[in-house]
Amino acid sequence: MFDAILDHPDLWSLCRSSCFENEIGIDLSEKLREDLESGIFEKIMILKIDAYYHPSKMAKPKRSIDCLIIVKCINTGYEFYLVELRNVVSPKGLKKAEINEKFMTTIEDFLKNRFQDIFMDKDYCLNKFELYCVTDAYRLKNLNEEQYKKRISVLEKELLLLQKIFTFRDKKATIKLKLPNPLITEC
């Protein structure tokens, strides 16, 4: 899959060395970081999806997520992490319709339509399909354990706002809220 992405003129230009924006991002294990820094792309590839749907490239760009992180598993197959980065100061910045639209565009238009020859290819086994909205809109990062537990009980109720089920290649997923810098490791 990585070779097909690198050989595609529209996709290789989306390759990035990180998934980070406005002080919010994804952490990678040391082995995955080393792979990205080497530029060899044996274990991981990060595509900046919103760069594809940029106004400079399209007259009417669609909303899309920030990054698609693809991890190649040691034995066989791949893991896909679709990531939306939201540096907002309150839960009001987590607009359900907008976030769902970004994931829908990425899955339905980018993966299943425009680049289906690569991402829908049955020769590539998809082991994991995760959807992350990375944010600290609830200001949980700096709380003590007791405060954190109280906020989490409220947050669990509010999480229902993102509970649309998305499907890609027989995998189903809902959007998971993650605190900034969740760690992705090799599989």
For residue 108, give every residue at least 6 positions away whose Cβ sits within 8 Å of its Cβ, in sequence order, or none.
none
pLDDT over 70 (residue 58): yes
Amino acid at 179: L
Q: What is the pLDDT of residues 7-35, one digit of tens each?
A: 999 999 999 999 999 889 999 999 999 99
Domain that residue 47 falls in: 2-184
In terms of Cα–Cα distance, which of 34, 182, 164 is closest to 108?
164
- Output the DSSP codes for 126-167: EEEEEEEEEE-TT--TT--HHHHHHHHHHHHHHGGGG---EE
d(CA 166, CA 108): 10
Question: 177: helix, coil or strand?
Answer: strand
Task: Yes or no: say if 162 and 177 are a contact pair by the CB < 8 Å rule.
Answer: yes
39: pLDDT confidence band, cut at 50, 70 and 90? confident
The 10s digit of each residue's pLDDT in 104-146 is 999 999 999 999 999 999 999 999 999 999 988 777 777 776 7
Say how many domains are in the chain.
1
The Cα 81–Cα 107 span in angstroms is: 11
Q: Which letter does DSSP use for residue 92 in this model?
A: G
What pLDDT, in 10s, does the model give residues 87-109? 988 878 888 889 999 999 999 99
